[in-house]
Structure 1
Amino acid sequence: MAAARMPRGNVFLVEDEVMIRMMVADMLEELGFRVAAEAGEIGEAIRLAETADFDLAILDVNVNGKVISPVADLIKARKRPFIFATGYGSSGLPEEYRDRPALQKPFQLETLGKVIEAALKSAPV
């Protein structure tokens, strides 16, 4: 039996597609992270962005037809790093956040790991 290891960090995950959210959560766990909070709609994501304890957020750009900017604004105000996940490419990112890291859907485990590491390294202290 393997010894339980400490998570490498807590992640807040926002994704409206349940199956994709489950797949990303599994990928995060495989990378050694813990999903601290997850949301599938903007209202819940806003509440969790204000209250949840997390080290990094992964945000779907378009959540049930609504742009993720209000959630990103709250996370930025808390000085936490975040990554966008999008099927639209960098042009689909909110204009004010086009300098932020983005994962192009669908993405692989290795790509997710690299983008997370880069986001955590460049996070404000």
Structure 2
Amino acid sequence: MLERSLEGCHILVVEDEYMLADELNMELSVLGATVLGPAGTLEDAIHLIASEVRIDGAILDVNLGGQWAFPAADALTHRQVPFLFTTGYDQSVMPSRFADIVLCEKPINIMQITEAVRYIVHN
């Protein structure tokens, strides 16, 4: 058993690339997490953040079909839900209010992402 298990954790996946979203869904499920989503649009992400009773952590793609995902990040912050960003962009596109948020650059490594999710959920 992993030291920092995701067993029973509710993890929101916000990713517009279907194959990546599916891969994250499968890997998080294998690790025992309940996956919320995946949401592929900013609108779907905002809806899930507002409607889900429990979110223990989130993976948030910075760009969702040409829309910045920062309103979703703000909603997660408001709910005090820990999250990380995935992006193909560099740190310069990130608003300063998110300077302390974990940023995983694409192409992502699924093992690194799941380890980062364990970190944010348990710290």
- TM-score of the two chains, using structure 1 as the length reference: 0.83
Q: What's the counterpart of residue 120 of structure 2?
A: 119
Higher-Rg structure is 1
Taking only the aligned residue pairs, the percentage that are identical comes to: 32
Q: What's the counterpart of residue 76 of structure 1?
A: 77
Residue type matched to 1:69 in 2?
F
Quote the Cα distance in structure 1 between the aligned partners of 2:17 and 2:33: 20
Stretch moving more, 35-44 or 71-80: 35-44
The alignment status of 1:108 with 2:109, answered yes or no, reads yes
Look up the SS of the partner of 1:58 in the other structure: strand
Q: Please tell me whether the aligned partners of residues 61 and 92 of structure 1 are also in contact (alpha carbons under 8 angstroms).
A: no
- Give, in angstroms, the shift of residue 17 of structure 1: 1.2
Quote the Cα distance in structure 2 between the aligned partners of 1:57 and 1:31: 15
Q: What are the within-5 Å matches in structure 2 for residues 1-125 of structure 1? A: 7-52=7-52, 53-122=54-123
After superposition, give the CA deviation of every residue in 1:12-68 in whole Å (9 maximum; x if it has no partner). 111111111111111212332220232111111111111112210110000011101
Look up the SS of the partner of 2:35 in the other structure: strand
Residue type matched to 1:109 in 2?
I
Segments of 4+ in structure 1 off by > 6 A? none
Residue type matched to 1:24 in 2?
L
Gaps of at least 5 residues in structure 1 are: 1-5
Give the aligned CA root-mean-square deviation in angstroms. 1.7
- Give, in angstroms, the shift of residue 114 of structure 1: 2.1
Higher relative contact order (CA 8 A, sep 6+): 2
Gaps of at least 5 residues in structure 2 are: 1-5
Rate the CA distance shift 1:65–1:28 in 2: closer, same or farther, 3 A.
same
Q: Please tell me whether the aligned partners of residues 59 and 85 of structure 2 are also in contact (alpha carbons under 8 angstroms).
A: yes
